[in-house]
Structure 1
Amino acid sequence: MSKNNHQTDVVIIGAGPTGLFAIFQCGMLGMKTHVIDALEATGGQCTALYPEKPIYDIPGFPTVAAAELIEHLEQQAAPFDPLYHLDQQVTGLQQESNGNWTVTTSKSTAISCKAVIIAAGAGAFGPNRPPLEGLENFEGSSVFYLVKRREAFRDKSVVIAGGGDSAVDWAMSLPEVAKKVYVVHRRDKFRAAPESVARMRSLAEMGKIEMVVPYQLHGLEGTDGKLEAVIVKDLKGNERSLEANILLPFYGLATDLGPMADWGFELERNHVVVNPTTCQTQKPGIFAIGDIATYENKLKLILCGFSEAAMAAHAIYPLVFPDHELHFQYSTSQGVPGE
């Protein structure tokens, strides 16, 4: 077998938080894993888009930075010796005559396995850009679509635009370092978790942020890539000029499933439909978990992805060990290898 050809029990596509936890769940059941990700490092969006973003709904962590969460998940997976294939995209998925699957990548890696877990988030992603004239002149210097280091915005005047979780979470976090924080949204209703919205409004009442509602982004003022003001307009055409150095437009991500879109999965709004009790797709041996998976009443939460990882691993066990009966054990009684 060449260095680019491998054989394992389970291939996990995606090294974000859900994929990393799937390593642990498979490992606890004695299954070996290989992990493929298009990014150069593990962590998915948590690493690439918002490593310092605080996350509030991970059990056991009142708050945890995204990068810290990934670090803990890597440590949890480490005893099971996963083999990572990073900086390469999955390009092919082919079923073998014996029922196994072969996964191939853009770097000519080929991995034969008994089952595949797709934990690829929403696929390849990029920011949804606001339609502002001259926006490109400020991108990378004054306009950013993610926050990698809060410290970069110390003593800056920051305009946050958007009404989802990212906008609200950073509206709660950046006042600790920024000189001024505005929150611009087209309506007074936000799409983030209610408790987070309540905390943001409390900060506004204390004067730590300014709510600019209902307004939308209308224009940018500045020279040589240095932003001086953000122009906003309400539905009646009234304009305001917000003196600012930084604009953070959080309008979500434009996603692309890439080659996975042509693999014959049942798709619903660019998400892979799965059985909610096993997370198996309509293709036997192929499972999907996390943000890429969908079923009735699906919640796009990391903690739900963790649960799906456990369900998928248990459903895969008889495919890897058809002659063994699985006796469920809690980790407290089973222990972890090396401990």
Structure 2
Amino acid sequence: MKELFDVTIIGGGPAGLYAAFYSGLRKMKTKIIEYQPQLGGKVLLYPEKMIWDVGGQPPILGDSFTKQLVQQALTFHPAVCLNTKVDVIDKNKNGHFVIRTDTGEEHYSKAVIMANGGGIVNPQKLKVEGAEKFEMTNLHYTVPSLRSFKDKVVLISGGGNTAIDWAVELLPIARKILLVYRKDVLSAHEAQVDQLRNSNASLLSNTTITKLIANPEKRKIEKVQLLNSKTEEVTLQEVDHVIVNHGYNQDASLGFAPSLHIEKKDGYFYQGTATGLTTEKGIFAAGDILSYDGKINLLAGAFQDAVNAVNAAKTYTEPAAESIAMVSSHNDIFEARNRELMKELVYEN
């Protein structure tokens, strides 16, 4: 039989990562299974966005915050499986969960924590012939670095919150911002829209990208052909970069286990409780995927969900265990590490 883990966490976003840290704190043998090639979840889509809503954490870029989350999650050396898609979760005759992937691989666990957010999220690609050729140069679906747009002409396609947010962020950085969107009105937050309208950005409604014209030597987009659907006017716009924010394709297939009850309420969620319980004994949930009365859809809420799910998993696998862990500042598991950190602080000062 393959290696048996105390808990397996499906999803490597903020909730899953903090659950991995906390399960290690509770001395549970832990595994993380993540579909994407790296840990971080949806925060990876916004590496240069400022995060303000984590208690005690000064404003921090998404990229830096993700690195800190991952570093913390790996404190107790959980097993990590990347590029792995879970298909089915069953139970064997020993009462252990068998987690089967799309490649037929099997993982064994006493308990499972679902931290799979809104499912597998991938940006919707630009449906223009040959667009994929420029993804390594100047066609972007996320913004890896604001510095690369300094003094450039940037065309952003999209009329939702993400597109407007990036346009506002780039106003003081780019030489020129053009926003094209296929509808009459923008569907983003009013304050951001007002800020953009009161700037020197060019807003082109009822407009879509129909062609990308490249410099064959540099393999970069030099011009974008635009079509106004109302006037049928075709124009060419010289650009340095194109950012596409057309939303995300989400694989929210949540039927991993037959008895997991799925609730539809502005999306699909596992019906559960504030303590991380789901309708399947031994399967717990945390973060965006979990629905219950009083849910907090913030990072702070994801961390609380993670703690509750781990505590529930601990008592499920070890009924005699304490229902909560000792607070970290008093926990003997950190005693040696605390001494090392204090020495470093003394030497630095």
Scaled to the shorter chain, the TM-score interval is 0.7 to 0.9
1:280–1:312 Cα contact (<8 Å) kept: yes
C-alpha change, 1:282 and 1:211, in structure 2 (3 Å) is: farther
C-alpha change, 1:92 and 1:262, in structure 2 (3 Å) is: closer
1:142–1:226 Cα contact (<8 Å) kept: yes
1:12–1:117 Cα contact (<8 Å) kept: yes
2:21–2:73 Cα contact (<8 Å) kept: yes
* d(CA) in 1 for partners of 2:194, 2:241: 21
Q: CA deviation at 1:32?
A: 2.6
2:12–2:39 Cα contact (<8 Å) kept: yes
Q: CA deviation at 1:187?
A: 5.6
Residue 317 in structure 1 maps to residue 308 in structure 2: no
Q: Which residue of 1 aligns with 2:243?
A: 248
The C-alpha deviation readout for 1:304-327, integer Å capped at 9, x for no partner, is 322221221222221022013325
* d(CA) in 2 for partners of 1:191, 1:62: 26
Q: CA deviation at 1:238?
A: 7.8
- Aligned counterpart for 1:97 among listed residues 70, 93, 98: 93
Q: CA deviation at 1:242?
A: 5.2
* d(CA) in 1 for partners of 2:103, 2:256: 20
Residue 119 in structure 1 maps to residue 115 in structure 2: yes
CA RMSD of aligned residues (A): 3.4
The number of residues matched between the two structures is: 327
Stretch moving more, 166-175 or 182-191: 182-191
Stretch moving more, 19-28 or 143-152: 143-152
C-alpha change, 1:291 and 1:67, in structure 2 (3 Å) is: same
Larger Cα-atom Rg: 2
Q: CA deviation at 1:11?
A: 0.2
Q: SS state of the match for residue 51, structure 1?
A: coil
Q: Which residue of 2 aligns with 1:20?
A: 17
Residue 71 in structure 1 maps to residue 62 in structure 2: no
* d(CA) in 2 for partners of 1:305, 1:251: 26
The C-alpha deviation readout for 1:141-177, integer Å capped at 9, x for no partner, is 4432222233333332112233444223322333354
* d(CA) in 1 for partners of 2:333, 2:187: 42
Q: Which residue of 1 aligns with 2:166?
A: 170
* d(CA) in 2 for partners of 1:101, 1:289: 18
* d(CA) in 1 for partners of 2:62, 2:310: 24
C-alpha change, 1:165 and 1:26, in structure 2 (3 Å) is: farther
* d(CA) in 2 for partners of 1:336, 1:158: 51
Q: CA deviation at 1:191?
A: 3.8
Q: SS state of the match for residue 272, structure 2?
A: coil
Q: SS state of the match for residue 277, structure 2?
A: coil
Q: Which residue of 1 aligns with 2:271?
A: 274
Unaligned runs of 5+ in 1: none
1:188–1:213 Cα contact (<8 Å) kept: no
- Aligned counterpart for 1:46 among listed residues 43, 48, 57: 43
Q: CA deviation at 1:72?
A: 0.9
Stretch moving more, 106-115 or 235-244: 235-244
What's the TM-score, normalizing by structure 1? Answer: 0.80
Q: Which residue of 1 aligns with 2:346?
A: none
Q: Which residue of 2 aligns with 1:308?
A: 305
Q: Identity rate of aligned residues, in percent? A: 27
Q: CA deviation at 1:33?
A: 1.1
Letter in 2 for 1:286: I
What's the TM-score, normalizing by structure 2? Answer: 0.78
Letter in 2 for 1:282: T
- Aligned counterpart for 2:34 among listed residues 37, 48, 63: 37
Q: CA deviation at 1:22?
A: 0.9
Moved over 6 A (4+): 234-241
Letter in 2 for 1:173: E
Residue 179 in structure 1 maps to residue 185 in structure 2: no
- Aligned counterpart for 2:226 among listed residues 231, 234, 244: 231
2:171–2:201 Cα contact (<8 Å) kept: no
Stretch moving more, 109-118 or 12-21: 109-118
The C-alpha deviation readout for 1:51-100, integer Å capped at 9, x for no partner, is 33333333334432222112111222233221112232224311133433
Stretch moving more, 154-163 or 101-110: 101-110
C-alpha change, 1:241 and 1:204, in structure 2 (3 Å) is: farther
Q: CA deviation at 1:121?
A: 2.7
1:138–1:227 Cα contact (<8 Å) kept: no
C-alpha change, 1:217 and 1:223, in structure 2 (3 Å) is: same
* d(CA) in 2 for partners of 1:212, 1:95: 55
Residue 145 in structure 1 maps to residue 137 in structure 2: no
Q: Which residue of 2 aligns with 1:291?
A: 288
Letter in 2 for 1:318: T
The C-alpha deviation readout for 1:205-225, integer Å capped at 9, x for no partner, is 4x4x51616544254463456
2:272–2:290 Cα contact (<8 Å) kept: no
Q: SS state of the match for residue 9, structure 1?
A: strand
C-alpha change, 1:221 and 1:23, in structure 2 (3 Å) is: closer
Residue 128 in structure 1 maps to residue 124 in structure 2: yes
Q: CA deviation at 1:109?
A: 4.9
Counterparts of residues 198-217 of structure 1 (less than 5 Å): 198=192, 201-202=194-195, 205=198, 207=199, 210=201, 212=203, 214-217=205-208
Residue 261 in structure 1 maps to residue 255 in structure 2: yes
C-alpha change, 1:127 and 1:114, in structure 2 (3 Å) is: same
